Amino acid sequence: MGGLAELTRSLTGLEGPALAHLHRLVASWGPLADLSFADLLLFVPLARDSEQSRGQRVVVVGHVRPTTNQTVYRHDVVGAVFGEGERPLAAQALRSGTIVEGEVDVDAELGQVLAIPVRWDGEVVAVCTRESIPDLGRQPGELERTYQSVFRRFAAMIAEGSFPFAAEDAETEEAPRVGDGAIVLNADGRVAYASPNAVSALHRLGIHVNAEGERLADLGLEEVVVPTAFAIGAPVTEEIERGHEVTVVLRCLPLLEGGRATGALLLLRDISELRRRDRLLISMDATIQEIHHRVKNNLQTISSLLRLQGRRLTSREAKEAIEESVRRIRSIALVHETLSSTGSGDVPFNDIVRPLVRTVEESLVSPDRPVRFRVGGDAGRLPARVATPLAVVLTELLQNAADHAFPPAGPGVEPPSPLDGVSEQPLVTVHLDNDGDRLLVEVADNGVGLPPGFDLAASTGLGLSIVRSLVATQIEGSISMRSPGANGCRGTLIELQVPLTPPQHVVR
């Protein structure tokens, strides 16, 4: 079974502006189902076929259930095809172009059906039916009678082609429904009826007097939705705030007759709790960003202190150890700097990789070691739990490549072999690939390659020890290093596989 567009195109041939009109109807008919306390079905005639002699057949392309009453259909009827004998009122409304009412067999019960022709550009393109099982033992109250009367006015608008509105504004999840609170306004914009929930919403806004017969502006509610909706003949939505504690959203649907507004349905919903949560989330995001900013500043302070300490040292090895520590700290600080400006827990890792490469270039490259670095691919957005250790790992790998892949030429040392098509200048490339499930990081160089018998697991160097530890414990990935000539590779190729989905831990 397809959606409205697929069903109408494949079975009815309806398309273009008429199909868009039906889309707007289905998108905006929720309040109508609530007002009618009934299911609404949308029927579109099938394209003429060999069964034309049996009468016009129709297919259900839309169905909405009310939130104010029980549904008639417990099963999905979208896609069902009916003959004229099964849906005589729908067929009659299609032919006559007028609203037809009667009783038919609805889901094995005698139901009340109101068939409304859906008119577009003067032509009937579909039929909307209101279907319900009447409760014969109960008299409708004022609220139900008022809602039914308003629904009839919307039905007349559907039949004349003025509903759904051509300038319908987009509804959101916060848009009010009839059950949230409804006020019926007359042609003068005065309150003709206010539902109990609407009265409660007005009380939240500080309006405690009887609203019937009054304009909302006279009650102290300075809003623009009503005059604007009356003026343009289209729905208007506005939020009214009373301090930071109360927020009510108003949505005004004008009731048109002959293109002129003769009243309106004003829907109200108290969204104070939703806005309070929004403000809380914004505050939490700002707090988290501030924390990342302070962590970054603290790390930079530590780096500065280490540099001061390094200047006082005389041992060359001690100075190099301090510089390596500073680079590691700077790589972590870069992640926190990016997190402090993104406002989320994910970071675009390419924004971290390039500064990391520049840091290594500035600290390691010299005239006697003119190593070039190149970055390609896209790492996408990574969670902070992956980005932070990965930044340290990548820094270590780049530093290791610059330190060991291109040793100074000397007795017994051959110059590095260039890559095909690349100049003899030493080159380190970083390639990133994110397929959504895992991140592949490749660090390749055209240097001297790995020494004979090299074993990553047995390496005792501090940098590679840090890499192995972070990859195994924090990233939970895998790393491999290929020797010169393996798989056509010159120099050294390091492949790092990083899973992006959190591991599933089995609870026993």
Do 426 and 371 sit in the same domain of this protein? yes
User: What tokens were used for 175?
Assistant: 């848009």
Q: Which helix (DSSP H) or strand (DSSP E) does residue 433 occupy?
A: strand 427-434
Residues 124, 248 share a domain: no
Tens of pLDDT along 264-315? 999 999 888 888 887 777 777 777 777 777 887 888 888 888 888 888 888 8
Residues 279 and 246 in one domain: no
CB burial class (10 A; 0-12, 13-18, 19+) of residue 27? middle
In this structure, the answer to whether residues 193 and 151 fall within a common structural domain is no
Residues 119 and 43 sit within 8 Å (Cβ to Cβ): no
Whether 1 and 141 have beta carbons less than 8 Å apart is answered as no
Q: What is the pLDDT of residue 423?
A: 45
Q: In this predicted structure, which of 176-190, 214-228, 358-372, 427-441 has the lowest mean pLDDT?
A: 358-372
Mean pLDDT of the chain: 82
Tell me the CB-side half-sphere exposure of residue 29, using CA atoms within 13 A.
27
Number of domains in the chain: 4
Last residue of a domain, one of 270, 302, 328: 270
Residues 32 and 133 in one domain: yes
Q: Is 170 a domain residue? A: no
Q: How far apart (Å, rounded) are the C-alpha atoms in residues 237 and 386? A: 43
CATH number reported for the structural domain that contains residue 183 in this entry:
3.30.450.20
Which of 21-30, 342-351, 447-456 shows the lowest per-residue confidence on average (mean pLDDT)? 342-351
> Which 8-state DSSP code applies to residue 50?
G
Q: Are 36 and 66 in contact, with CB atoms under 8 Å apart?
A: yes
- The number of beta carbons lying within 10 Å of the beta carbon of residue 465 is 12
In a domain, 165, yes or no: no
**Are 49 and 59 spatial neighbours (Cβ–Cβ below 8 Å)?**
no
The tens digit of pLDDT for each residue in 136-178 reads 666 778 999 999 999 999 999 999 999 998 865 555 667 888 9
Identify whether residues 197 and 262 lie together within a single domain.
Answer: yes
- CB-based burial label for 502 (10 Å; 0-12, 13-18, 19+): exposed
Distance between CA atoms of residues 239 and 254, nearest Å: 18
CA angle 91, 32, 152 (to 5 degrees): 65
135-145 tens-digit pLDDT: 766 677 899 99
**Residue 480 neighbours by CB under 8 Å, 6+ apart:** 456, 494, 495
CB 44 within 8 A of CB 59: yes
Q: What is the pLDDT of residue 507?
A: 43
Residue 173 lies in a domain: no
CATH (domain of 33): 3.30.450.280
CATH number at residue 488: 3.30.565.10
Q: Please tell me the distance from the alpha carbon of residue 128 to that of residue 43, in angstroms, as a whole number.
A: 6
pLDDT at 7 over 80: no
Query: Is the four-CA dihedral 480, 486, 487, 490 of positive or negative sign?
Result: positive
Query: Is the separation of the CB atoms in 40 and 29 below 8 Å?
Result: yes
486, part of any domain: yes
Tell me, yes or no, whether 250 and 287 share the same domain.
no
- Whose tokens are 């970054």? That residue is 296
Are 328 and 420 found together in one domain? no
Same domain, 133 and 216: no
**Residue 362, domain member (yes or no):** no
Give residue 183's domain range. Answer: 178-270
CA-angle at 293, arms to 321 and 391, nearest 5°? 45
Q: Is residue 51 in a domain? A: yes
Together in a domain, 73 and 27: yes
In whole angstroms, give the CA distance from residue 359 to residue 391: 12
Residue type, 317: E
Cα 377 to chain centroid distance, Å, stands at 25
What pLDDT is recorded for position 402?
A: 77
Q: Determine the pLDDT at residue 483.
A: 67
Last residue of a domain, one of 237, 252, 270: 270
Please compute the mean of the pLDDT values over residues 389-409 and round it to a whole number: 80
> Within 10 Å of residue 462's Cβ, how many Cβ atoms?
11
Where residue 508 falls among pLDDT bands split at 50, 70, 90?
A: very low
Residue 372 counted as domain residue: yes
Q: Provide the whole-model pTM.
A: 0.61
- Residues paired with 268 in a beta bridge: 250
Which of these three, 248, 270, 292, is where a domain ends? 270
Q: Which two tokens stand for residue 103?
A: 């009783």
- Residue 334 is assigned to a structural domain of this protein: yes
Predicted local confidence at residue 367, as pLDDT: 61
Instruction: Using the CB atoms, write b or e for 414-443: b if 16+ within 10 Å.
Output: eebeebeeeeeebbbbbbbebeeeebbbeb
Percent residues over pLDDT 70 in the chain: 87
Alpha-helical segments (H) within 74-141: 88-96
Check whether residue 306 and residue 380 sit in a common domain. no
Which H, E and C letters describe 141-180, residue by residue?
Answer: CHHHHHHHHHHHHHHHHHHHCCCCCCCCCCCCCCCCCHHH
Examine the domain organization and report whether 16 and 153 are in the same domain: yes
